[in-house]
Structure 1
Amino acid sequence: MEQSSSWDEWTVRHQFDRICKLALKGEVIDYQRHMAYRQRHEVLLSELPEKELSKLFTMDKYNLETHRFQVLGYDIEVKDALIAEALQTLTEKKRNVILLSYFLDMSDAEIAREMNLVRSTIHEHRKRSLELLKNIMEVSTDEKE
């Protein structure tokens, strides 16, 4: 009788051992399937192309970072602080010519009509203004470095 109870105990242990091994094998198979699924359907953020990565977020743009100029009823927004600072140093006429020409893509003839000036005057204002802006911006960037 004693031998029978130890035999039963040994059988139960081996059955329990077998059930545990089967359960662990099943868990391994589930884990491998899950990892294969992730490998097929998921991509690391560091491996995303720039175009796809840019779709994942948006950037808020606030008016604090822009400068606004009023020119002949037009509201012109300048986002670059260095350009805005340089534009503020110009006379009003020269600033208006630059803003209308480069920010609203108006021709010299259109600007002359709007400002009641001669086209050649507009051309000269634009030419001199660009030279002044170039000098002002070069000095500003040299000072910042």
Structure 2
Amino acid sequence: MNAATPTSAEALARWHAVVESRDAAGLPALIAEDAVFRSPAVHAPQEGRDTVVGYLTAAFTVLGPELTYEREWLGEDSAVLQFRTVVGGFDVSGIDMITWDADGQIVDFTVMVRPMRALEAVIQHMGAELMRMLEASGA
């Protein structure tokens, strides 16, 4: 890596800053144009910056108020972040697996959630939030 290439630690710090701000407006600058989002709530990978930003924006609303990262593992171009939150009265445990490109933009974001009842609550609340967002945008 040359001096102009962001490190994983720098890319991760940018992610944490946006999460801590709870302001989804900072997401587009972090996401690569061809990014992919993989969720336990949907069958197929969701592709493209706008789609990934939409899912992460909804996640900020659904998971965000009580979301705390407890541990993290950092690789050369990726990180695994263990989190906890509460959704619909259920304690949610999960991980975010994030991969960055050479420019420090997120190219792959995978979420895993447990236990099953918590995942069901996340699916229900994410679906409702995504529908609300679609209706608000007039789509």
- Could you tell me the TM-score, scaled by structure 2's length? 0.31
Name the one with the larger strand percent.
2
Please identify which structure carries the higher helix content: 1
Greater length-normalized contact order (CA 8 Å, ≥ 6 residues apart): 2
TM-score by length of 1: 0.30
Which structure has the bigger radius of gyration? 1
